[in-house]
Amino acid sequence: MNRRGFLQALFQGVAYLPLLPVVALAREPIQVIVQQSPIAGFQYYEGDNIFHLLRLNTPLQLKRDLKNTYDKNAVAIYAQGKKLGFVPRADNTAVAQMLDRNEKISARIVELSISENPWERVRFEVVLNG
């Protein structure tokens, strides 16, 4: 590219600079799947009582359980105001830290299965919304 072509390209690009904020506002929000897991303790809480009401993509609420004496990173999972269980201990550190930092995360049901094994009944995913 010669000097004249370079300067033309440069000034043509400068003409679009005022539009950059508009373009930045128009872009889609980024979502990153943080994890997918089964619900721990499903059989001990309200999960079995409301299983028939659960559907794929049902939104879930994640709440830190700071008083949990068994797990300092405990994150409880709720649907429709009912406690379903917890994020499994092996998978809860990142989710607990994100909740503690007030990051925008969400959770939803991604798999439902009628099974004798409570670990196989509900799988959920946690998404970081940015």
Average pLDDT over residues 55-65: 97
> Domains of the chain: which residue ranges?
30-129
pLDDT digits (tens, 9 = 90+) for 9-55: 655 654 555 555 655 555 677 888 889 999 999 999 999 899 999 99
Is 120's pLDDT higher than 80?
yes
What average pLDDT does range 69-89 have in this prediction? 96
pLDDT of residue 25: 56
Architecture in CATH of 30-129: 2-Layer Sandwich (3.30)
Better-predicted residue by pLDDT, 87 or 3:
87
What's the pTM value of the predicted model, to 2 decimals?
A: 0.77
Q: What letter would DSSP give residue 40? A: B
pLDDT band at 130 (very low <50, low <70, confident <90, very high): confident
Mind giving me the DSSP string for 50-77?
A: HGGG--TT-EEEEEE-TT-SS-TT-EEE
The dihedral built from the CA positions of residue 123, 69, 45 and 60, taken in this order, carries a sign that is negative
Strands 82-86 and 59-64: unpaired
Token output for 75 = 């994150």
